[in-house]
Amino acid sequence: MKRILTSILAGMLLLASVTACSNNSANADDGAKNNSANSQTPTADLTEETEETARFLDSMPETMDFEGRSLKFLLTEGANGNITELSIYAEEDSGEVVDAAVFQRNIVVTDRLNVAIAEPQVGTDSGANGTTIRNAVKAGSADYDVFGGYQYYNIVLASEGILYNLNNKENFPYNDFDREYWGTGYMKNMSYDGEKFYWCTGDLALRYTGGMYVMYVNSTIFNNYYPDVNLYSVVDEGDWTMDKVSELASVAYVDLNGNGSIDGKDQFGFVTQSNDLTDGIAAGCMVDFSTRDENGLPVISLDNEWTYKFWDKYYNLMFNNSACMINPVGTDDSIAIMTAFGAGQFMMTDNKLYQSPIYLRDMEDDFMILPMPKLDDTQPHYNTRIHDSCTIFGVPVSVGGTDCISATLEALASESFKEVTPAYYEIALKVKFTRDSDSGRMIELCHENVTIDFAAQWSNKLGDINHFFRGRADAKEESIASTIAKNSKVWNKSLEKLVKAFEALD
């Protein structure tokens, strides 16, 4: 049950060291918008009006008894720390806010349900982990109750008939995927028909919470050039666009090493990479790779005027603006870009939100976090997507006793919404590692406007369609219409084959 909170931001500033709140709307747009979680920490002195609430957010009984059953997770960990493992397990309360929240959440869940959460097996090889699950199902093994996969690589398992449909109430009676702690829109778009959910995600996954693309701005460099410009006001007025980024960046080039040539050792107004950061820019401009037809099924839709307008803006920004550079460190490595940004070399860059506490916590210059820029002022809202390393959870069909798994996933998700998301998203990201309250407000704005489409999520089975702009950036391809036309046949054939695979499943 939701609490009615007022003066959220003011209260957060006053009590940032002990509490945090997040008030994100669930902007669903014909099933294409991700339901972001309304992360809230119960705080009596911030609340003017409080509804009578149950002890738990979910609708399950307050106590249940699964007789001490131990649940075993197999997890695929991506780069940038152990946030996938930490989504499920913390060995102890280390004193760090997120560790403490996860540890406490697990105590609450295991005591409530009389279950045990075993220390998960974690691997970085998504292919090997996927094979492990395939082999387990083939052998009828129940070695792993839940698989936490890396979305890009492991999503394909859902089309192979080896995962349960989590939206089947007979097997998963306790899950309510319309609740605020699940990424409802994200899951619906991951589903080919919007009904069968072979994967779930949301507040349970820290890679969901922290995987949003955002813009980073070095406040010191920016204020040297624009002492009278309030970037937060630019965003609030709806004017943070691709053209505005190009305009502001254009004055900020400096030949730092004095060699008379433009290279990765210089200062730039804006930098990005031709890999996933380009994906993030396209997402910010609301470029969709697929839409839904009259039957609610996905169709490829990249060939349209909005796509071509986006590419014109991107090409002009990256290749016709001397103060902008793509892959400035001689590689498409986004970590190297964040390291250079953290050292004060670039005025602006884009990256995932979870990079902030890793690479910017010791940054000497102040920095701002902003939404990804709009394509232009006709775009209805700021937009972002979650990086394709998002952790998605599935249950192998060889596992029995799914009612226990159902209850545990629901309890972990709802308790994560109450305890873990505030610790990670509010304190660790918005307060501890950012330099002003407005950046926290900007993160709220990003979280309110997360979208995704089926083809982008299933890119690994659709000719890597989500990576289309990466190749065009590497080739410095000014016109992309003919390349889209050439690839469309492959994309459509792949999508047709994928949909048929789903239609053959129960």
Residue 136 lies in a domain: yes
Pair (72, 175) in one structural domain: yes
Q: Which domain holds residue 361?
A: 213-384+452-503
| Mean pLDDT value across residues 248-270 | 95
Neighbouring-strand partners of residue 212: 386
| Residue 3 included in any domain | no
pLDDT value of position 340: 94
144 and 180 inside one domain: yes
Same domain, 159 and 275: no
Q: Which of 416, 467, 462 is nearest to 278 (CA)?
A: 467
Whether residue 255 sits in one domain with residue 198: no
Residue 343 lies in a domain: yes
Q: Alpha helix (H) ranges present in 423-477? A: 437-448, 454-457, 468-474
Looking at this protein, which amino acid is placed at residue 127? Answer: G
Residues 296, 249 share a domain: yes
Residue 490 lies in a domain: yes
Same domain, 155 and 230: no
Number of structural domains (the chain) is 2
Of 433, 465, 492, the residue that ends a domain is 433
Per-residue pLDDT reduced to its tens digit, 394-449: 999 999 999 999 999 999 999 999 999 999 988 888 888 888 889 989 999 998 89
Please report, as a single letter, which amino acid is at residue 174.
Answer: Y
Residue 238: is its pLDDT beyond 60? yes
For residues 56 and 156, state if they share a domain.
Answer: yes
Say if residue 279 is in the same domain as residue 182: no
Q: Indicate if 299 and 248 belong to the same structural domain.
A: yes
Residue type for position 179:
R
What six digits make up the tokens of 459?
Answer: 């890119």
Bridge partners, residue 217, by sequence:
348, 368
Q: Residue 332's pLDDT is what?
A: 63
Structure tokens at 217: 């701005």
- Which residue is associated with the tokens 């084959």? 497
User: Is 245 a domain residue?
Assistant: yes
Beta strands in 54-201 (DSSP E): 69-71, 73-76, 115-117, 121-123, 146-150
pLDDT in tens, 16-65: 333 333 333 333 343 343 333 333 333 333 333 344 457 899 999 999 99
430-469 burial, b if ≥16 CB within 10 A, otherwise e? bbebbeebbbbbbbbbbbbbbbbbbbbbbbbbbbebbbbb
Query: What percent of the chain has pLDDT above 70?
Result: 89
* pLDDT top residue among 263 and 234: 234
Q: Give residue 337's pLDDT.
A: 92
Is the domain of 317 the same as that of 331?
A: yes
Q: Is residue 396 in some structural domain?
A: yes
Q: What is the pTM of this model?
A: 0.88
CA distances from 329 to 319, 335, 361 (A): 16, 10, 21
344/396 same-domain check: no
Residue 445 maps to a domain: no
- Pair 73, 169 in one domain: yes
Q: Evaluate whether residue 439 is within a structural domain.
A: no
Q: What are phi and psi of 147, to 5 degrees?
A: -110, 125
Whole-number Å distance between alpha carbons of 317 and 246? 6
Sheet holding 146-150, edge to edge: 121-123, 73-76, 146-150, 391-394
| CATH classification at residue 463 | 3.40.190.10
Alpha-carbon distance of 354 to 352, in angstroms, equals 6
